[in-house]
Structures are given as C-alpha cells and as structure tokens.
Amino acid sequence: MPKVTAEYRAARRDEILDAALRSFATKGFQRTSMADIIAESGLSAGAIYGHFAGKRELVGAVAARTLEARRIELDARRADGGPLSPGDVMATFVDGMRHEPFGGILLQVWAEAAVDPEIRELVQTVLHGLRATLRAQLVEWAEAHPDRVDGDPEAWAARLTPVMLGLGPGFIVQRALVDDFDEEDYLAMLPLVLPH
C-alpha cells in the first residue's frame, strides 16, 4: 500500500475545509450537518472523519487556517523593512479577513459561542492566538518607536491589543449588516486613528 505524504494529507484537509465553508455559506453554520459537508466534498464519510471528528473541529481548523493566513500576510507586508505601525497591522489584518470565505460565517459562529461552551472554547483559542499575534507586532513597533508610546512597550501593547482586537469584528459586523458601509474608508482610516 503506498504511503500517504504529509502534503497529500494537508491538501485533503484543505479540500474538506473548503467544502465545509461552502456548506456553511449556503445553509448557515447551525443548519449544516456533517452529511451536508460530506456531500459537498464528494468524499466518503470515512475520508472526512479520518481528518475531523465533527463540525466543531472543522470550525476550529478553518479558524486556525484563517489566523495563519493573516500571520503570513503580516510577515509578507513587513518583508521590506521594520515593524508595521499598529494601523498598518490592523489594516492588513482586516483587509485579509474581507477576502476570506469564512468572514461571513464568523457572525454565526460568534453567536453560537455565546450559547455553546464547546464553540466558545474554540473561539477563545483562536482569539488568544490572534491576541498574541497582534501583541507581538505592537511590542516590536513600540520598541522601535519608544517616543510614540506611553511607558513600557510590553505594558503599552497589552493595553492596546484588546482595543485593536475589537476593530476586526466591528468591520465584519458592519460589512454584513450595514447596507451603506464603506469598506475602503474603514481600511483607510485604521492607520490614521491608531498610533503611527
């Protein structure tokens, strides 16, 4: 029997995650069943369950993949120089989120997290990872610009991180619910309202 490579397993996982996202986008998170995801993927139930135990685990994997994509974008954006300003970090993050198919499903997952302890735990894990990513970016910028921060860079970053973390959901909520929301203006204002 041929050996399955890590690359093949990763590609199959991505294929399953993409099928789950399409199902969530079509039917909504709550109304999507594992049978729907299996049908959308065109794979066998065994192939799906060989990678994921269920819908909650799929959501966690989609969120982790989305967070990793944001980290890669931040690294690529700063490849030409020093640390990004807080506004540029947030603009990069939010711009990346608006191109994710998962973005529209986030509101549903957040609503579920308010009433489902398992989903809440998944969301908290992702938010802790996001918070750590943002905080590291802020500390690096603050250390490079001590004249622009109030006090110790670590303490300053700890205070600003939760504020910045709120800007992403604000964008996602308005984008989903406000008909005349201007995404471009929102992105353009982030570097102006945050320290730069």
- 125-181 tens-digit pLDDT: 888 989 999 999 999 999 999 999 988 999 999 999 999 999 999 999 999 889 999
Q: Where are the alpha helices (DSSP H) in the chain?
A: 6-27, 34-41, 45-49, 55-77, 86-98, 103-113, 117-144, 153-177, 183-193
Determine what percent of the chain is predicted with pLDDT higher than 70.
97
Q: Show the domains of the chain with their CATH numbers.
A: 1-52 (1.10.10.60), 54-193 (1.10.357.10)
- What tens digit of pLDDT does each residue of 62-108 get? 888 888 888 899 888 886 778 999 999 999 999 988 887 766 788 88
pTM of the model as a whole: 0.82
